[in-house]
Chains A and B, each alone.
Chain A
């Protein structure tokens, strides 16, 4: 496990790290949501945020994910300063503009998606990852535009493309513009398919709604992390609609594998090697 380097996060490495589910203070210990055990933070981080006791896969930030994937020190971020313009002047109990600002402060990210170029096993790739801690990884104009540019970039460079999803779906505060990001990204993806390079979609916990119902489920290979929640509708909505309890393991990675919706379920520790092999087998 030496290839995982936290400092390898490109030009913005000085930013504070925030991981969903982690204790608010940088304590030495953290509690695993899987087994409820208290574990040394250092142990968990060394293990790619997979619980060494129960194998629970905790969420990674976008940058942690990319760092854990690419060859050390090779990530070059693109569109790093793109941010939302609040096109609807949306306001619920709080103004969307203010929500974005406070989330930016809390996460150290401009929005919910990070992408760029790097190398994986010595080969150039385009790679992007959702930041779930940024408004539930929701997709508005910024996320959609960045993803479309990632496909465009991979097409122009004729290189493989890897996308890590972690999102609740479309961002409500940008209304119909968010919905249309589904079509926009799929259009750019359709264009990317004209070059013979693989598009690898990795579904991490959770991948639902408009993100699942667009590019995430369109990988040439679809990989899911163990127990990741993946589906179109949220469990609560389904339960309210059909008025019955959902079966155990419903919408989990293994459920999708059984139903033929993903190619493989790969533990985080094996993921990087798996990606290298797949690209080697598939890329032009």
Chain B
């Protein structure tokens, strides 16, 4: 299957294309030539990917062939049982959720789900949840809590859906309630950004004990296009906005927001979903073991303290050590 090519990948794509051509021609004489070209392609890919701009990372996070929540769920979990509906209005298919097994631990898994192709994307609303999606997620988080099951979430949304019905049914109330309720969950909660972490619509699944991001994902307060259209008065400046907002995984480590960057396959998760999923599984398993060894009160207190320390402000009249405490916590690792 041909992979969609992003503009900055073009030089590698051309080499890949030539390699494919040579393979079609076949013959032992070409083997050496093919191998040389493959080495060249790999080196070029590594070179390009070692110096990606933030805007290129944004493009990768939205790559149409990127693995989505269900792709990770099928590779990481067994016995996934999808549950539907918020019991109030509807089932929102931009969020999938249900009980599943992670090795021998029974968990609740919840993820934002984009669609492949137009038809599925319409059904999944391009991964933009409505209030009923967030309410389904909350219902199932509460269910998980009652049965003492850890919660694993996958974040991948451009943002919560901006529509008339969504506003009528309380989009902001639904997101707000998730933020407060997730803060109080007695079970371990781990979130991983697998594509786009779009604003409050992402955070509504992201108030968790551990936050991870895949290498080529983004997490931001507003889309670069949205930021650019407001601050630069032109969405075409999205690349500048992406740079200024510092929205990549390494940025968020530096800012003390996320816990871990999970490596993707060379050239992005879509080039080897299996390998990428294995990386995710390893990290989640390790974090889960650690969280399960703590009691619920400690987890909740730590979770609250973690978010409480986020942010940077100046207080000229405060004592220096107090001021230091108020600044962004930079966790040692």
Contact = CB atoms under 8 A, between A and B. Distances in A.
A and B: real partners? yes
Interface of A: 79, 81-85, 87-88, 90-93, 140-142, 144-145, 148, 170-184, 186-191, 208-210, 212-218, 230-234, 237-238, 241-242, 246-247, 250-251, 259-261
Contacts of B312: 85, 87, 141, 174, 177
B167 A148 contact: no
A90 B247 CA distance: 12
A175 B172 contact: no
B304 A187 contact: yes
Contact of A179 (B167, B183, B203, B227): B203
B13 interface: no
Nearest to B231: A92
Given A145-B326, A170-B221, A232-B171, A210 B199 contact: yes
Contacts of A181: 310-311
B1 interface: no
A76 to B, nearest CB: 15
B173 interface: yes
Nearest to A210: B200
B321 to A, nearest CB: 16
A242 B221 contact: no
B162 A176 contact: no
Given A232-B160, A241-B162, A259 B220 contact: no
B179 A180 contact: no
Interface in B301-323: 303-304, 307-308, 310-317
Given A87-B312, A170-B221, A232-B200, 15 more contacts: A82-B315, A83-B314, A175-B246, A175-B247, A176-B220, A178-B221, A182-B200, A183-B206, A190-B184, A213-B175, A214-B176, A216-B176, A233-B162, A233-B166, A233-B171
Given A172-B221, A176-B255, A218 B314 contact: no
B260 to A, nearest CB: 16
Chief secondary structure at chain B's binding surface? helix
Interface string B271-290: 00000000000000000000
Residue of A79, A140, A179, A234 most packed against chain B (CB within 10 A)? A179
A187 B307 contact: yes
Interface of B: 160-164, 166-173, 175-177, 179-180, 183-184, 199-200, 203-204, 206-207, 219-222, 226-227, 230-232, 240-241, 244-247, 251-252, 255, 257, 303-304, 307-308, 310-317, 326, 328
A26 to B, nearest CB: 30
A81 B307 CA distance: 22
Contacts of B173: 217, 261
B89 to A, nearest CB: 12
Contact of A82 (B172, B308, B314): B314
A189 B179 CA distance: 10
B313 A82 contact: yes
17 contacts: A85-B312, A88-B244, A142-B313, A174-B312, A175-B244, A180-B257, A183-B179, A183-B310, A186-B176, A186-B183, A187-B180, A187-B307, A210-B200, A210-B221, A232-B160, A238-B164, A247-B164
B236 to A, nearest CB: 14
Contact of A238 (B163, B179, B199, B317): B163
A140 to B, nearest CB: 8
Contacts of B204: 213
A231 B172 contact: yes
Contacts of A247: 164
Nearest to B181: A190
Contact of A183 (B168, B184, B207, B227): B207
Contacts of B175: 213-214, 232
Contacts of A144: 311
A232 B315 contact: no
Nearest to A189: B180
A241 B247 CA distance: 24
Given A190-B304, A218-B177, A175 B162 contact: no
Given A83-B314, A232-B160, A232-B162, A213 B171 contact: yes
A218 B180 contact: yes
The 4 closest A-B pairs by CB, nearest first: A233-B162, A141-B311, A212-B172, A186-B179
A140 B328 CA distance: 13
B172 A217 contact: yes
B176 A215 contact: yes
Contact of A83 (B161, B171, B313): B313
Contacts of A259: 168-170
Contacts of B244: 88, 90-92, 175
A85 B314 contact: yes
Nearest to B233: A93
A264 B306 CA distance: 35
A81 B317 contact: yes
B171 A176 contact: no
B88 to A, nearest CB: 11
A170 to B, nearest CB: 5
Contact of B316 (A81, A92, A141, A170): A81
Contacts of A251: 167
A176 B252 contact: yes
Contacts of A148: 308
A217 B203 CA distance: 16
Nearest to A218: B176
Contacts of A231: 167, 171-172
Contact of B183 (A145, A190, A216, A261): A190
Contacts of B180: 186-187, 189-190, 218
